Amino acid sequence: MEDSLRKEDPLELAARYLRQRRELGEEELYLSPGLFDSIEKSPQEKSELLKELYDSSRDCTKCGLHEGKTNYVFGTGSASSLVMFIGEAPGREEDLQGEPFVGRAGKLLNRILVAIGLKREEVYIGNILKCRPPENRDPLPEEIEACLPHLYQQIDIIKPRVIVALGRVAAQTLLKTNLPMSKLRGRFYDFNGYPFLVTYHTAALLRNPQFKKPTWEDMKILRRYYDKITGENFKFYDEE
Ligand code: URA
């Protein structure tokens, strides 16, 4: 095949670009707005890949939870979302409706999204587990291990610009730590190259109103970061 017809490896392309800039004596990078277009998948490709992943995983039997489920709760939102929220596992409402965060905790999440100027449809919402644990008990390590590859694949397709862990299970699982939420929340981590922010789960906020203030601080951190990515300048209702 002619060299010019060979599909470029994105990493080779990036390395060549960076080397070239250095050799031209550039100290600072200029990244033109179209630079990533040939590397990244289009919104349509992402949504097709996500649909394929759903179809291939919805009948999963890798752990016992599939036996008691009503619905497989894959995730919801745009496949090209810049922001991805990750909770713990479906509860009763989510199991019945087949969509994450639609019960009381979900309604509170919706209100938080409104407060930071994001629409539910433009973010992606998923969970560590896709089938409901009985009586909403904590996920077992073997359930997490069985289910996590699906979430990793979702992340890999969506490639969000920022991930937000909602609560202890999501944060500790993905960051592979046992640190408590009080130590984990409120700052960014690197999760496989993704900026990763930790905040309280909305179900915890319903039980512990004292978590509302720190959660609002975390959501402001998220929105400021989102503004940096998009060039927007959102005004918080309490800072006008
Ligand atoms: N809690 C979660 O962690 N996920 C849901 O989808 C609903 C409640």
Residue 139 lies in a domain: yes
Residue 1 lies in a domain: no
Q: What's 67's domain CATH number? A: 3.40.470.10
Whole-prediction pTM: 0.89
Residue 239 lies in a domain: no
Per-residue model confidence (pLDDT) at position 145: 98
211, 180 Cβ separation under 8 angstroms: no
Per-residue pLDDT of the chain (240 residues; tens, 9 = 90+): 444 456 667 777 787 878 887 788 877 777 777 777 777 899 999 999 999 999 999 999 999 999 999 999 999 999 999 999 999 999 999 999 999 999 999 999 999 999 999 999 999 999 999 999 999 999 999 999 999 999 999 999 999 999 999 999 999 999 999 999 999 999 999 999 999 999 999 999 999 999 999 999 999 999 999 999 999 999 999 997
Kindly report the protein residue whose alpha carbon is nearest to atom 7 of ligand 1: 101
Distance between Cα 107 and ligand 1 center (Å): 11
**Alpha-helix residue ranges (DSSP H) falling in the chain:** 10-23, 43-57, 92-97, 104-115, 141-158, 168-175, 181-184, 202-207, 212-230
Backbone angles phi and psi of 41, in degrees to 5: -75, 150
Per-residue model confidence (pLDDT) at position 3: 47
Per-residue model confidence (pLDDT) at position 2: 45
100 lines ligand 1 (CB under 6 A): yes
User: Between the CA atoms of 169, 171, 172 and 178, what dihedral angle is there, to the nearest 10 degrees?
Assistant: -110
**Nearest-CA neighbor of 215 among 113, 84, 97?**
113
User: Which range of residues forms the domain containing residue 58?
Assistant: 42-231
Residue 7 lies in a domain: no
Residue 28 lies in a domain: no
164, 84 Cβ separation under 8 angstroms: yes
Residue 34 lies in a domain: no
Distance between Cα 46 and ligand 1 center (Å): 24
**Nearest-CA neighbor of 72 among 99, 43, 51, 50?**
99
Residue 33 lies in a domain: no
Q: How many structural domains compose the chain? A: 1
**Nearest-CA neighbor of 109 among 202, 196, 197?**
202
Per-residue model confidence (pLDDT) at position 21: 79
Distance between Cα 204 and ligand 1 center (Å): 11
186, 217 Cβ separation under 8 angstroms: yes
89 lines ligand 1 (CB under 6 A): yes
User: Between the CA atoms of 133, 136, 141 and 143, what dihedral angle is there, to the nearest 10 degrees?
Assistant: 20
Backbone angles phi and psi of 200, in degrees to 5: -70, 155
Residue 50 lies in a domain: yes
